[in-house]
Chain A
Amino acid sequence: MKAMPKLAPAAPELVHLTITEASRLIAARRLSPVELVEAFLARIAATEDRLHAYITVLGDEALAAARQAEADIAAGRYKGPLHGIPFAVKDNYHVVGVRTTGASRLMLDYVADETATAIERLTAAGAILLGKLNTWEYGTGTGEIHDDLPFPLARNPWNTDRFTGGSSTGAGVAVAAGSAMFALGSDTGGSVRLPAAAAGVQGMKATYGVVSRAGILPNCWSLDVAGPLTWTCEDNALVLRTIAGHDPRDPGSADRLVPDYLQGIGAGIAGMVIGVIRDLGPDAPSMQPDTRANLEAMEAVLEDLGARLVEISLPAPLSGYRQIVGAINWGESYSIHERDFLERADLMGKALRDKMTAGFTMRAVDYIAAQRRRRELAQSTDAVLSACDAVLAPCTFLTAPTFDDQETLTKFTFGAATSIFNATGHPALSICNGFDADGMPTSAQIVGRWFDEATVYRVARAYEAATPWRAERPVL
Chain B
Amino acid sequence: MTDTTPWTIDEIAAYAARYGLTRLEPAHLERMREIADKVALASAAIPRMPRKSDEPAPVFRVPLT
Contacts and interface: CB of A to CB of B under 8 A. Distances in A.
B36 to A, nearest CB: 4
B55 A373 contact: no
Given A251-B61, A372-B55, A375-B54, A357 B32 contact: yes
B36 A376 contact: no
B49 A327 contact: no
A371 interface: yes
A18 B39 CA distance: 45
A358 B39 contact: yes
Nearest to B16: A360
A362 B39 contact: yes
B31 to A, nearest CB: 6
Given A342-B20, A366-B46, A369-B46, A361 B36 contact: yes
A368 B35 contact: no
Most chain A beta-carbon neighbours within 10 Å: one of B19, B21, B42: B42
A6 interface: no
B42 to A, nearest CB: 6
Interface in B23-48: 28, 31-32, 35-36, 38-40, 42-43, 45-48
A345 B28 contact: yes
A324 interface: yes
Contact of A375 (B31, B40, B56): B56
A369 B59 contact: no
Interface in A179-227: 221-222
Closest 8 CB pairs between A and B?
A371-B56, A366-B43, A361-B36, A372-B49, A357-B35, A369-B46, A342-B20, A248-B65
Contacts of A357: 28, 31-32, 35-36
A220 B20 CA distance: 23
B45 to A, nearest CB: 6
Contacts of A327: 42-43, 46
Interface of B: 12, 15-16, 19-21, 28, 31-32, 35-36, 38-40, 42-43, 45-49, 54-57, 59, 61, 64-65
Given A372-B54, A375-B55, A360 B43 contact: no
Interface of A: 221-222, 248-249, 251-252, 323-324, 326-327, 330, 342, 345, 353-354, 357-358, 360-363, 366, 368-376, 378
B57 A222 contact: yes
Contact of B32 (A221, A249, A361): A361
A476 B32 CA distance: 43
Given A360-B19, A375-B54, A370 B46 contact: yes
A326 B64 CA distance: 28
A411 B15 CA distance: 32
A34 B65 CA distance: 40
Contact of A369 (B12, B39, B48, B65): B48
A375 B65 contact: no
Contacts of A249: 65
A323 B42 contact: yes
**Which of A222, A360, A361, A373 has the largest count of B CB atoms less than 10 A from its CB?**
A361
Given A249-B65, A342-B20, A373 B32 contact: no
Contacts of A222: 57, 59
A373 B21 contact: no
A354 B36 CA distance: 10
A354 B61 CA distance: 32
Contacts of B32: 357, 360-361
A330 B40 CA distance: 12
B21 A376 contact: no
A345 B16 CA distance: 13
A239 B42 CA distance: 38
Contact of B49 (A342, A360, A366, A373): A373
28 contacts: A222-B57, A248-B65, A249-B65, A251-B65, A323-B42, A324-B46, A327-B46, A342-B20, A342-B21, A357-B35, A358-B35, A358-B38, A360-B19, A360-B32, A361-B12, A361-B15, A361-B32, A361-B39, A362-B43, A366-B39, A366-B46, A369-B49, A371-B56, A372-B49, A373-B46, A373-B49, A375-B55, A376-B54
Nearest to B61: A251
Given A327-B43, A361-B32, A372-B55, 4 more contacts: A357-B31, A360-B19, A361-B39, A375-B54
A337 B32 CA distance: 17
A214 to B, nearest CB: 10
A372 B52 CA distance: 10
